[in-house]
Amino acid sequence: MARNIETIENGVLNEKTCYYTKIPDGDSSIKSNMAKWWLLGINCVCTVLGTIAGPLFLRLYFLHGGNRKWIPSWLQTAGVPVLLGPLTVLYLRERASGVRFLAPTKLLLLSAGIGILVGLNDFMYSHGLSFLPVSTSALLLSTQLGFTALFALLIAKQKFTPYSINAVVLMTLGAALLGLSKSGDRLLGVSNRDYWLGFVLTLGAAGLLGFILPCCEVAYATARKTITYSVVLQFQFGVNFFATVFCTIGMLINKDFQAIPREANAFELGAVKYYLVLVSIAIVWQMAGVGTLGVVFSTTSLFAGVLNATLLPLTETAAVIVYHEKFTGEKGMALALCSWGFISYFYGSYKEKKKQDALFETGSR
């Protein structure tokens, strides 16, 4: 959460987002900080709900007869129209106050490029999940934290601290321990070739996600205007729209749209529940996407990576409750390690924030 700042007359230059802001005084400063924490909290809740529920609904789709690869990939971003509601409200409010609503053109163009990467990531993840057990998939996805840390250092110039290093190590160990006892298991009917294909695709999805998060942080930094939450939602809309276009092309080539009615009729839980599962997948993954980019906006890409890694053992716990999987000692240890890592990172960020606030107050005098 650390922000490098430089005093500029009666304002400051935020090097993360590259825009000037007026130094707040008294109550306005307190209200501003409270608003930022509330925004971070809301985005964290969306990330938690979407990240935990998303894999569960995808697993439900595959468990009961779903076997298409592009349909679940497409659904992970196809819920993008739900963003039109809050965007309309924000547009009317900002137009009434005379604020320029439209996000910078460069930021919207970057959202198109990142959206294509997100579409590819969705396909790799859903395709890999169809061949792998949940525990093995979680183990491989946990490596995204290491990829995020590496790319955050190379792309976003995010500095490491002892607390963030400790968090990365603890949560990587925790997620590895989580899948240790079952990482070699194959699902019934999955060939050795398909298993390793899923292994490579899921690992590739983890690496691509680790690359995407710092790219989003850098994209925010390119905007030469104040980054408001309406700008973040516009960026999210662009990312999801182009990811959906990418997956739509895949569905058209693979003729998945024509296959939906046939698959619904053959679904073990019935056609109605089949469509409910599809709608649920779209909603929860939209929440995860909005929440993750909101967390990157409110903090850093590395923090978003840490949060996603923390949720992996919680997803496993949810799978134990929903699908009656065994809660082994390894899963309990993994949950403890990942929780410890998250607390470590959060505490380090809090200390760094206090340090930056002290420098901020000194520079404002």
pLDDT per residue as tens digits for the range 126-135: 998 888 777 6
Spatial separation of the C-alpha atoms in residues 246 and 199, rounded to whole Å: 23
According to the model, what pLDDT value does residue 327 have? 64
Which helix (H) or strand (E) segment holds residue 226: the answer is: none
Spatial separation of the C-alpha atoms in residues 36 and 226, rounded to whole Å: 14
**Is 157 strand, coil or helix?**
coil
DSSP 190-221: --HHHHHHHHHHHHHHHHHHHHHHHHHHHHHH
Residue among 290, 347, 299, 352 nearest 16 (CA): 299
Report H helices in 155-300. Answer: 162-180, 192-222, 229-254, 256-266, 271-298
307 neighbors 126 (Cβ within 8 angstroms): no
Residue among 49, 111, 91, 23 nearest 297 (CA): 111
Residues of the chain with pLDDT under 70: 1-33, 35, 99, 135, 139, 174-187, 223-227, 301-302, 324-328, 330-331, 334-335, 342, 346, 349, 353, 357, 359-365
According to the model, what pLDDT value does residue 266 have? 92
pTM comes to 0.74
Q: How many residues does the chain have?
A: 365
**Is 333 strand, coil or helix?**
helix
Which helix (H) or strand (E) segment holds residue 130: the answer is: none
Task: Please report where in the chains the tokens 């019934």 appear, as a residue.
Answer: 188
Q: Which two tokens stand for residue 17?
A: 């987002």
According to the model, what pLDDT value does residue 111 have? 92
According to the model, what pLDDT value does residue 9 have? 35
According to the model, what pLDDT value does residue 222 have? 77
According to the model, what pLDDT value does residue 5 have? 31
According to the model, what pLDDT value does residue 4 have? 36
According to the model, what pLDDT value does residue 173 have? 78
Residue among 318, 19, 182 nearest 8 (CA): 19
